[in-house]
Structure 1
Amino acid sequence: CDWYNPVKGHAQYGLRDERRDRKSGRIWRILPKGMTLQDPPAIAGQSVDALLEILKRREYRYRYWAKRELRAHPSETVYRSLERWVEGLDEQNPRWSHHLAEAVWVARSVDRRHEDWLRTLFQDPDHHARAVAARMLRHWHDTMPDALGWLKAAVSDDHDLVRLEAAITASWMGGQEALELLLSMADRPMETHLRYAFVSALNAQTIQPLWQGKDAYAMVQPLLDSAKSAQAFLEPGMSARDAAFDRQQDRLTVRMACIPEQMRFTVETIEAKPNQPVKLIFTNPDATDHNWVLGQPGSLEAIGMAANAMAKDPALADSDFIPSEQQGLILAHSRMIGPGRETRIQVLRFQAPEQPGLYPYLCTFPGHWLIMKGVMVVGDDEAQRRVLLDGLSDQP
C-alpha cells in the first residue's frame, strides 16, 4: 500500500490520534494476468472438523488463523477430533508428515500431548518434520522416558536445522546428559545460526552451572569467547573414510582438552575395550602448545625422557616432539596444537590396543610429561578394567 498523506503509519502518532488520515491512500494487490484473487476460507464460527481441514492448506496464514480459532473451542473436544483427523490421514500422501506436524502444533496449543506422533516425526525422512519433533521435545520431554535418546538422534542429525532445534531443546531439558549431548555437537562444523544456538544453549541457566569453573569442561569457555575462537575449536570437516569410522556402533568418543595454566589433561583415565574404535577430539585452549601421545605399557618415562632430549636441538623447536628412536613404543599421537601452531584442535581416530593393560598417554613437549599424563585402561569388561586400575593405585 502507499499512503498519500504526511502520516506514514510509522508510529509517529497513536492509532486514535486525530491527525491520522483515514481516508486518503491506495492499496495495491498485484497478480498475474488472467488470474483471480483467492477467497480466504471461512474461519469464524466454523466447526472443529472444518478448521482441522484448513491445516492441509499450503497457505501458512490460513493455517495460523485456523489454529487460533481452534483454541477458542473446548480443549478436549479439539483433541478428540484431532486424533480422529490424524487417523484419517493418508500416509501415502507426500504431505502426510506436514499434516502430522500441524497436529502436533494443535495438540500443544490445547495443552494435550501425543508422544507417539513426535516419535514418528523424529524418524521421517523430511528434515522439516524432524526439526518440528526436535522443537516440540522441549515441551514434552518430561513425560517421555526416551527423551534423551531422541535428543541424541537430533544433535547428530545430518541437517543443520534439526541440530539447531536440538541445541535449544537441550537447554530446556538441562542436566548432565543434555550438556554432554550438546557438547557432542562441536564434533561437526557449524554454520552461523547453528553456532549462535549452540553458544546460547551453553550459556543457558540450566546448562551453564554444570560446566562453569570445572576442570573437566575447560574447553567450553573458549567456545564462547568469540565467533572466531569458537570456529577454531570446532572439529574440521570429515573425509569419507572418517565418516565411515564414526558410523561404527561401538565407537568410543573422548573429548579431551588441556586445562589452562595447569599443564593437565581434562581426562586422565580412558576406559576402552580391546581393539575398540576410538575417536579422540583433542583441543588446547591453553597459552602453551601441547600434544597427546599414547604409548605401550610402562613406556611413559622412556618416551618422556626422549622428548626432553629433543629440546637440545634448536632445529626441533617447532617440531611435534615425537622422538623417532621411541617409535616402537608409540601407538598413536597427535600433532602439537595450540596458540603457536596451525590449529587448536585435532581429531584422532584409531583402534584401542588389542591386549588388556594400562597404556600411558602424555604430552611430549619437553618437561610436560611429568605432570601432563594419563592412562588408557584396556579390558574386556568393566570388572577387568577395575582390577587393572586397582593395580595402578597400588603402585608407589
Structure 2
Amino acid sequence: MALQTSAETPVPVSEVSRLIGGWIDRLGAVWVEGQIVQLSPRPGAGMVFLTLRDPSRDVSLTVTCYRQVYERVKDVVAEGSRVVLHAKPEWYARGGRLSLRAAEIRPVGVGELLARLEQLKKKLAAEGLFATDRKRALPFLPHRIGLVTGRASDAERDVLHTARERWPAVRFEVRNTAVQGVNAVPQVIEAVRELDAHREVDVIIVTRGGGGMEDLLPFSDERLVRAVAECRTPLVSAIGHEADAPLLDLVADVRSRTPTHAAKDTVPDVGEEHERIAQLRRRSRRAVDGLLEREERGLAGILSRPALAEPYTLVEEREEDTAHWLDRARRVLGHRLDRAEDELAHTRARVVALSPAATLRRGYAVLQRDGGGVVRDPAEVEAGEKLSARVAEGGFEVVVGPDS
C-alpha cells in the first residue's frame, strides 16, 4: 500500500529510508551484466569495492563483495573487463545509498563477446555503414592530419616519426585520449568530432597499439562506429596489429595494418615522389623524342617525293601546255575574228547596195514637197509649185513647169 502522508503528518527520513530498504529487499538476487570501471581491492580489507557500468546507457552502480569472491576471479578481471554478477541489491539506510552485494563474479567469455560483436556487425552492415561506395579516397598530400591516440604511446611516436620521415613538412593536429577502459569511447568520439569540424584537417587517423580483445573493445563500440560514419573528413583506422579487426576498421575509409602503415597510407614518401617525377620526365622525354623522330622520318619521306624534290618539273610541264593552249586560243580567236570581219564586209556591201544613197549616185533624184512628203506621182504636183530635189551630192529647189 502507498504510504499515507501529508504536510501535517509527514514521516521521518529514517522511516522513508527503512521502507525503501524493504521494497529493495523484496527484489531478491539478480544476475547483472556490465563493465568494471573502478576496482579497489584494498590490501588486508575484507571487502572489495568496484563500480559496474552499462556503457550503452552510461548508468553505474556500486558493487561490493567479500574478499574471497574477488580472489576467485582476480587473475581474469580488471578495470575495463565485462562481467556478469550474481548480486543482491542492498540499501544502506543511514546514508541513503544503493549498492549490490555480489556473491559471484563471472567474466564474460570471449566467445560470447565475439557473438555479440558479430550481431552488432550484421546490424550495422544492414544499415549500410560498411558499404564500399560510401568510403572516400584519401587526399594525395593532406594539408594537416588529425591524430587520435593515447598520450605518449608507441602508436603516436610511430605515426609522427614515419610521417615526418616520409614528408618532413607534414603537420599534425594531435588529440590524446584514453584508448581502453570506460573513458575511451566518449573521449575518442569527442576528439573525432572536434577534428572533423577543424577546417584545416584533411584526414583523421585513429590508432592505438596492440592489446587483448577486451582492450580493443572500445573500438567496436556502436556509438564510436556511428560517430565515424557521420564524419565528413576521410578517416584511417589503425587499431592493434594486422590480426585485430575491430568494427572501427570496417566503417573507416581506409584500414591500415599498424600505426606505421597508417602514416604510410596517409603521407606520400618525398623520395619516392622525386623518383616518380624523374621517371615520368624520362618517359616524357623518350615519348617526345620518339614523336620527333617519327615526324622527321615522315617529313624526309615527303621531301624525297618528285613533286617536292624537283618542284619546277611540274611547272615546266604545265608551262609548255599553257603555251600550247594559249597559241591555239590565239589562232582560234584570230580565225573567228577574220570570219566575222568578212561577214561584216559582206553585210556592209549589201547594206550599201540597198541604200537610197546608192540609188541617188546612179543619177536618180528624190522630190519632196514643202511638207516633206515624197512626190511619187506627177498628178500630186501643180504647175508653179516649188519642190526640193535631193541628189547624191546635195539638194536644190525646182519649180514645176506648166507642161509637167
Q: TM-score range by the shorter chain?
A: under 0.3
Indicate the structure (1 or 2) with the bigger Cα radius of gyration.
2
Query: Larger % of strand: which?
Result: 2
TM-score normalised by the chain length of structure 2: 0.22
